Structure 1
Amino acid sequence: MIDRIAQLSALLPQVSDDPRALIAIARQMIAAGDRPRALALAEQVHAMTGGRGEAGVTAAEILSDGVFSWHFIIPRDRARNDAYEQALRRAIRPGSRVLEIGTGTGLLAMMAARAGAHVVTCEADPAIASAARDVVAANGYADRVTVVNKHSTDLDPIRDMGGLADILVSEIVSNDLLSEGVLAAHEDAVARLLAPDAVVIPARGTIRVALARDLRDRSPRLCDASGFDLTAFNRLALPNETIRVGMDQVALCSEPVDLFSFDFATAERRKPERREFDISSFGGRIDGIVQWIALTLDPVGRYENRPEPGAASCWAALLWRFPAPVDTKANDCVTIGGAHERDRVRLWVSD
């Protein structure tokens, strides 16, 4: 493969003005295992074409591969943005050094820089890191924000950061809180990359749950189609379903319960956990358990994406559907279980 990459590289000077030829080489670079070089070529073609024509569209396909849609959703959440920026402003002092894990668009890093900090932000994906550098430069913060194309666990506190950070900020939380690896990343960062008594934003994360009724007209599970019973196929369905907060897709049928809460400011390794408990129903049909997240940014700031009328959030809630609906009366108890494996959450109704 190394010889193939060398052969492809040797062709570049001959086709430097030909977007279609450059894209063809980029695609072969990907096949040969050199994604960073392929991304650089795709960026070059995108700049040459402005994203127009077949070469421009193909360049966009290469650049967007592996970039999740939530990178374009999260920055639009004004409540989330305000909560993070206020927490950063409360923490930052003159000369503060901020480490961000997960650059994304660079928004949080620029917020920290705008508040007066010097920021090192790390991003494992080379395409995202490159785009974030351009965003930072376009907004005039290239002298205060350094984007490092590494996973946080590969950072060297001296070589990459110039010293230990006074503040850690991250948003590597998922709809279930844990599946982006927030626990492992924070444990490593607190142990290796932060100064003593450093501020961590968010300081804590909590998984909250409640009994829920599905308000949608049609269940995503299969039943009859064209006269055939398809229900046996449902065993292949994911055990949870995404619920858009603010879309009134579910009704809460119990008071919320904190399932698990996590200290993001500790280096102590959190072990997997499992628990079962009773939840008291408001009454009526219960279709499953809805799960959402709450972030404690600092002693003052909090962000929660509770699925209720009038709410809005860049994060979705998750509905863990029961095998069959349960009819309840007010104050009936439903026994549910929950477990996490550090990077995965699971909920169920007990027999």
Structure 2
Amino acid sequence: MNFLRRFKTLLLPFPAQVSPTRRPTPFLTRIDSSLGRAMSSESTHRIFQLKFDPLTGESQWVVIEETDDAGGEESFGGSSASFLATTSYLDMLNDSARNRAFREAIDKTVTKPCHVLDIGSGTGLLSMMAARAMSSDGGGGTVTACESYLPMAKLMRKVLHVNGMGRNVNLINKRSDELQMGVDIPSRADVLVSEILDSELLGEGLIPSLQHAHDNLLVENPLTVPYRATTYGQLVESSFIQELHDLGNKEGQVLDGIHLVPNGLSTIIRPKSQQYPLHCDSLSEEIRLLSEPFKIFEFDFWRRPESHGEAKVVVEAIDDGRANGLVSWWVLQLDREGTIFYSTAPKWIDLQLNARASNWCDHWKQCVWFIPGEGILVSKGDEVTLNAVHSETSVSYHFASTETNEIRQCDSSVTGDFHLLLPPERVAIYGDSKWRSAMLRAVQNALKGRVQPLCLVADDSLFLTLVATCLSETSRVMSLFPGLRDMGSQYVQAIAKANGITAGRIEVLKDKRNIDRHVSDQKKVDLLIGEPYFHGNEGMLPWQNLRFWNDRTMLDSVLSKDADILPCKALLKACAMSLPDLWNSRRSLTMIEGFEHSIANSTLGACGELPAAHEGPLLPFFIWQCGEIKKLSEAFTIMEFDFTKPITSCNGKAEVRFVEPGICHGYVLWIDWVMDASNSVVISTGPDERWWKQGVKLLAKPAMVGIDGGNPGGFCSSVVEAEFDSSTGELLVKNEFF
């Protein structure tokens, strides 16, 4: 569901003199906690947290003191709280259908005093439900809750205290597989309540967690909530889904002479996601259903699951078409009797039992599995055999048509020769003829009149590396590939011959700090180019690609006096929008199934309940997937970043005139990259472009807006201000209505 909830805590004694990083933009990674198990009880407990610097691409371990406050209003801008504000905890707690289903199932299952174990407790909602269910039957019983992430555990203690549950729930700041019988818990638990599920179902370690719990923490034949999970699938035809993975066929339709996937190497670039989480409802009008839903796997929580499983399903086509992907989802049966359900199915599925979430939520989506190449051609009545295999943490699919016995593998595992794994959106961008044409035109214009130009590709753009080489027979190209690194070098070597590139024309540099060794005083860089795109930044905010500006500044000494820089500038653009589904998923918490949660609002960055001195977080989303959306203003420019000059802090302000009446929930922000000085080539990453995420600034409270002469009860204009800090790469956005 989100990487934070899978984060493994490392607790170690650590020197007090270690200072926190300068750059507070967060990025968390999974690390092994085994080193912390031998820690002395007298040691100072501290938690390592990995922070990512958006301007350098580097990461640094910093330490959060156990005494640091992870909740409360004063700490929202602090490191641990700001991490939590960018996760999906808030979205999950606002999922009323989920909360209600768990409450009903726990009330039905925990009917007498017993020992309940809650794995991955979060704010403690399920633990409090279990404790309340036992107290309603005369009291007694025990609830043991384990939450491995220290800031979350500290927030949970606050929530328990506010609800008077501090004595009812025993909270342990460990992973469940670190709990020891007789040390952490007095006896095996009679009931397990847990919610460690992601969109694929298995990605958060459901199987290993259940295996360890059944082996070490639970009684034989325990009661569990949920009781069972079942995965389903459906074959679909969709040009959008094909574009996310089939670069080979897409590139065959583009006649620009650049071959990212040459003939014979059609799989050298593959999408890296085995599962691709997607709000399929946003594509419902672009998807053709080629089969009825079919059951794939069933996982029982009440018994120990196997690490490996296989299923064979014969799927009958219900229409003619070409299956490009398999859409999968899961259904939870929360009670043993099978009366309480929750599902992540798309809205076109009629589940009858009201099992689907009633409101839009982002923490669980459907998953799309790509069928390689052009897909499988089927006619109505044809049968396709699906062979599904699951490991401890993932699922892979293989298809075979009963007519042709053609095998199609539907995962992203890399075997045999070298393959470069890229995000699906990156694969789609490289196959976009409009985008390719614009990039070609910009580089071509910059190369005009230059003899033996020296070109430097500062980012991870494979396409621009080939373009700069192929458009000029005399050019010399150096590429940094800061994220791809050796993979970029291997890729260039593999496809060079197919693009007519002789040895030595492309040089992949390992470190930009040593670039002086490759540039002479007589021949400096004539063309510095980037998209910009940095491998590994795909889920981040759009302006974090301003790392290109920082790199351009560092490379200033190797640029010639008349060097062209592509892009030459960037524009911070925005649009006022109605985003009711997204806003509601991030709205402030009050009572959740009878438990007060307002104390968590500041820490989780909720809309409407932040202290006046603090702004809500800017969050990255694919706006087109955010449920109901409506533009209320034209796109407007807030400020400009000039790449012809060294990086500097800057600010901007824009007055917004509303062109549509409605309820404004926030501003969507993005970057337009201006590739040339004449402004003839502009690459937009705005909400109309589906391959890029935008940044979202949600309002504390929705505002009714109108237009001059109409809707007199609403605001007619607003002012949006933004400040960019060149020392941190952070952007601060504020607004005011008139």
TM-score (norm 1): 0.78
Shifted more, 305-314 versus 70-79: the winner is 305-314
Q: Which residue of 2 aligns with 1:18?
A: none
Q: Which residue of 2 aligns with 1:179?
A: 203
Deviation at 1:242, TM superposition (A): 1.5
Query: Is the 1:245–1:306 contact (alpha carbons within 8 Å) kept by the matching residues of 2?
Result: no
**Corresponding residue for 2:100?**
82
CA distance in 2, matches of 1:274, 1:296: 21
Query: C-alpha displacement at 1:44, in angstroms?
Result: 4.1
Aligned 1:54-133 pairs, distance under 5 A? 56-58=77-79, 60-61=81-82, 63-64=83-84, 69-116=87-134, 118-133=142-157
Does the aligned pair in 2 maintain the 1:99–1:120 contact within 8 Å? Answer: yes
Separation in structure 2 between the aligned mates of residue 349 and residue 190 of structure 1, nearest angstrom: 34
Tell me: CA distance 1:272–1:198, structure 2 relative to 1, closer, same or farther (3 Å): closer
The one-letter code matched in structure 2 to 1:316 is K
Over residues 121-140 of structure 1, what are the superposed CA-to-partner deviations in whole Å (9 max), with x where a residue is unaligned?
A: 10122222222222222333
After superposition, residues 205-244 of structure 1 pair within 5 angstroms as 205-214=229-238, 216=240, 219-221=243-245, 222=247, 223=250, 227=256, 228=258, 230=260, 234-244=269-279
**Partners in 2 of 1:82 and 1:45 — Cα distance?**
27
In the superposition, relative to structure 1, how do residues 116 and 348 fare at CA in structure 2: closer, same or farther (>3 Å)? same
1:256 counterpart residue number: 293
Deviations 1:197-255 (CA, angstroms, capped at 9, x unpaired)? 43111122222122123375983345458944545564244243212254344554312
- Per-residue CA deviations over 1:289-313 (Å, capped at 9, x if unaligned) read 1111122212232222222338546
Name the structure 2 match of 1:17.
none
Deviation at 1:263, TM superposition (A): 2.0
8 Å CA contact 1:165–1:193 kept in 2: the answer is yes
- The one-letter code of the counterpart of 2:345 is R
Displacement of 1:339 after TM fit?
0.6
* Equivalent in the alignment of 1:13: none
* Corresponding residue for residue 247 of structure 1: 282
After superposition, where does 1:39-54 map in structure 2 within 5 Å? 39-40=64-65, 43-44=68-69, 49-51=74-76
What aligned pairs does 1:155-174 form with structure 2 within 5 A after superposition? 155-174=179-198
Cross-structure match for 2:161 = 137
- Aligned partners of 2:115 and 2:143 also within 8 Å: yes
More helix by share: 1
Specify whether residues 230 and 135 from structure 1 end up closer, same or farther in structure 2 by C-alpha distance, changes over 3 A only.
Answer: farther
Change in 2 beyond 3 A, CA 1:77/1:7: closer
* Residue identity matched to 1:322: I
Letter in 2 for 1:329: S
Larger Rg: 2
Sort the Cα spacing of 1:47 and 1:81 in 2 relative to 1 into closer, same or farther, 3 A. closer
Q: Cα offset for 1:344? A: 1.6
Measured in 1, the distance between the counterparts of 2:205 and 2:383 equals 33
Number of the residue aligned with 2:14: 5
Distance 1:239 1:48, change over 3 A: closer
Partner of residue 296, structure 1: 333
Residue 344 in structure 1 maps to residue 383 in structure 2: no
Aligned residues of 1:278 and 1:334 also touching (Cα < 8 A): yes
Task: Tell me how many residue pairs correspond in the alignment.
Answer: 326
**Aligned position for 2:344:** 305
Give the residue type in structure 1 aligned to 2:347. E
**TM-score under structure 2 length normalisation:** 0.40
Query: What SS does structure 1 have at the residue aligned with 2:126?
Result: helix
Question: Which residues of structure 1 form unaligned runs of 5+?
Answer: 10-20
Can you list the C-alpha shifts for 1:251-285, whole angstroms capped at 9, x where unaligned?
54312222121222123x51412344321011133
CA contact (8 A) 2:327 2:369 kept: yes
Aligned partners of 2:227 and 2:301 also within 8 Å: yes
Quote the residue 2:47 is aligned against.
Answer: 36
Kept in 2, the 8 Å contact 1:179–1:344? The answer is yes
CA 194–133 in structure 1, closer or farther in 2 if over 3 Å, else same? same
Structure 2 residue runs of 5 or longer lacking an equivalent are 1-11, 29-35, 37-44, 49-62, 136-141, 350-355, 401-406, 408-738
For 2:364 and 2:130, the matched residues in 1 are separated by 22
SS in 2 for 1:336: strand
Mark the CA change 1:6 to 1:72 in structure 2 (over 3 Å): closer, same or farther. Answer: same
Query: Which one has more relative contact order, counting CA pairs under 8 Å at least 6 apart?
Result: 1
CA 1:317–1:204 in 2, change beyond 3 Å: closer, same or farther? same
Choose the corresponding residue for 2:314, options 278, 298, 305.
278
Q: CA deviation at 1:169?
A: 0.6
Residue number among 226, 242, 252 corresponding to 1:202 in the alignment:
226
The farther-off stretch of 219-228 and 293-302 is: 219-228
Comparing 255-264 with 153-162, greater Cα deviation is found at 153-162
Contact 1:214–1:287 (CA under 8 A) maintained in structure 2: yes
Contact residue 204 and residue 264 of structure 1 kept, 8 A: yes
1:146, CA displacement in angstroms? 2.1
